[in-house]
A and B are shown apart, each in its own frame.
Chain A
Amino acid sequence: MKKVAIIGAGPAGIEAASILARSGVEVTLFEKSETPLKNLQDKAFLFPNFQAAQEIIDDLSGKLLVDGITLVSGVEISELKWQGTEWKLTDSKAQTYVTDAVLIATGYQVFDAHRKEELGYGIYKGVITSLDMEQMIKHGKILNANGDEPKRVTFLQCVGSRDEKSGNHYCSKICCVTAVKQAIEVRKQLPKCEASVFYMDLRMWGQGFEEMYRTAQEKYGVSFVRGRISEAAGTFDGRVQLKSEDTLMGLPLKMTTDLLVLMVGMEASCGTKSLGKACDISGDYGFIRTVNPHLYDNETGKPGLFAAGTCKRPMSVSDSINDARSAALAIKDYLDTI
């Protein structure tokens, strides 16, 4: 029986594991957290259809129960070595595994908003990240710094993305539509609360995204301001005052808001960075480099070593799952040749 190790039990890792296991491959799935799907558990709803993240979690968790998958959680892979015909993995508990192929699905982590000090995250309570907002939406408790219902919520795009000062030139791709989704949620849960989005460009690249943007304008009255917030400061009453240029009016703008939501981008996770480095497949910004983005986007150029999902670049949940399916196919093709 052929053996495959999959590192990372997120949507990509689990999807690939279930496909490979169902086709008769013995899969060992490694996860550094105690439970799989850690990032997805932080989400309330997924764009563009507002499907509850829990439904995706339930579906993927079901796929884990397939015969042939062994989940090893709470460990990190500390060493990954090609031994001529097979891969040898060593985990953080010094346990070793030998497999025919390895799929890296180590995913992303969000940008640490503390790094943009001028935006006041960690300094003023009213400044939160999109992840914090997602939690508030999930629990139906959107509250300002004083624990009251906010009267105004403001979203700021491109925090840690498209920003030379953070060292990230790339666009994180999912934040535009996430802000629109969250603004709609705010208006749904708190109809009296204003919601505004500060943007440089709104990139509605996926099916149904532009329609969401229209719905946000037409049905939920979300306002959109073309400008980038340069500074945020706390006010005496626990609110946040922000400064921006309204580039369409050509005027400076100031605004006081109860919550400033920083739309933090996606970066390669620590595991992605370290495995990429160790296997010499680390590409731009620490994401995994593949052989060819059009033709061989799961192959790393190393024998039997594959990559799927957000360890390669920012991706939505649905794109990660699709990418994992193509990775599973590439791995099966490879296993047939050995």
Chain B
Amino acid sequence: MIEFGFALKQTRQENMDKVSLDKYNRLLDLEPSFKRCFQCGNCSATCSARQFTDFSIRRVHTSFRRGEYDGLADELRKCMLCGKCTLVCPRGVNLRSLIISMRQILDEPEKTGRR
């Protein structure tokens, strides 16, 4: 049965005033080649996991760049680390290492409790 009623909707805006880019900045320390990414999407286009699941490495690293980390740890488990993305990246981003670094950062315990 459908329940009718009122609900408070969260805004869908990316609020760049509130996000914390700490994890993103830490990622750049671990994998500086990521600074060069220019969003061409070659990594996702060639991705083996991408062809059969909704995993998009481009979306994952763009979310990271925007300070939006929710759900990314689960997403990144879909990657099989085959490394094809690294082979095709025209900007020479070491994506395989980037993915491992993202996993590592997302697995780190939160220091302050609040993000």
Interface residues of A (CB under 8 A from B): 118, 158, 162-165, 200, 226-231, 243-247, 250, 252-253
Contacts and interface: CB of A to CB of B under 8 A. Distances in A.
Interface residues of B, number: 20
Q: Please list the 10 inter-chain residue pairs (A to B) with the smallest Cβ-Cβ separation, ordered nearest first.
A: A245-B41, A164-B92, A245-B45, A230-B46, A230-B45, A247-B41, A245-B44, A228-B40, A163-B90, A228-B42
Given A228-B41, A230-B46, 7 more contacts: A164-B90, A200-B40, A227-B40, A228-B45, A231-B46, A245-B43, A252-B47
Interface of B: 38-47, 50-51, 56, 58-59, 88-92
Contacts of B41: 226-228, 244-247
Contacts of A158: 90
A229 B40 CA distance: 9
Contacts of B44: 245, 252
A244 B90 CA distance: 14
Is chain A's interface secondary structure helix, strand, loop, or mixed overall?
A: strand
Contacts of A231: 45-46, 88
A252 B45 contact: yes
Given A228-B40, A244-B41, A250 B59 contact: yes
A164 B59 CA distance: 22
Contacts of A162: 38, 90
A250 B42 contact: no
Nearest to B84: A230
A158 B42 CA distance: 12
Nearest to A161: B90
Given A250-B59, A252-B50, A252-B51, A245 B90 contact: no
Nearest to B88: A230
A97 to B, nearest CB: 43
Nearest to B51: A252
Nearest to A157: B40
A165 B90 contact: yes
A231 B88 CA distance: 9
Contacts of B58: 245, 247, 250
A97 B46 CA distance: 55
